[in-house]
Each structure stands twice: as C-alpha cells, then as structure tokens.
Amino acid sequence: MKRQQKENSEQFLRRFLREIQEQGIVTEAKERMFYSKKENKRTRREKALERKKFQIQRQKQLKGY
C-alpha cells in the first residue's frame, strides 16, 4: 500500500488501518498470539457447567437473596 500523492500521513494511516480491519488481519493476529490446546468434550462441558453455576451465584448475590 502506497501513500497517494495528495494524502497526508493521518489520512494514509486511517486508510491503512481501515483496510487491515476489513481484511481481518488484526483479529487473526490476536487469535494467534496464544495457542490453546483443544479440549475434549467432557472438560468443555464441565467448564461450561462451572461458568453457569458462577453466573447463577452472581445473579443471586446481585438480587440480594
């Protein structure tokens, strides 16, 4: 990507960032920063249940039960 003739640096930077965002390069780079091992079905289910229990507990605390 080259800077156009009558384009100042701010306009070029804005155009560059918009182009990268449209292509999804930033999100892909963020996803690739940390490798996570694939979990089996059982551990995923257990973690989901833990999250659900925590959410219910949190909602009860906020309501004042």
- Tell me the helix, strand and coil percentages in the chain, rounded to 5: 70, 0, 30
Least confident among 4-8, 52-56, 61-65:
61-65
Long-range contacts of range 38-46, CB-CB < 8 Å, 24 or more positions apart?
none
pLDDT of res. 65: 63
pLDDT of res. 48: 95
Sequence spans of domains, the chain: 1-34, 39-65
d(CA 56, CA 45): 17
Mean of pLDDT values over 49-62: 93
Per residue in 20-48, pLDDT (tens digit) is 989 998 888 888 888 777 889 999 999 99
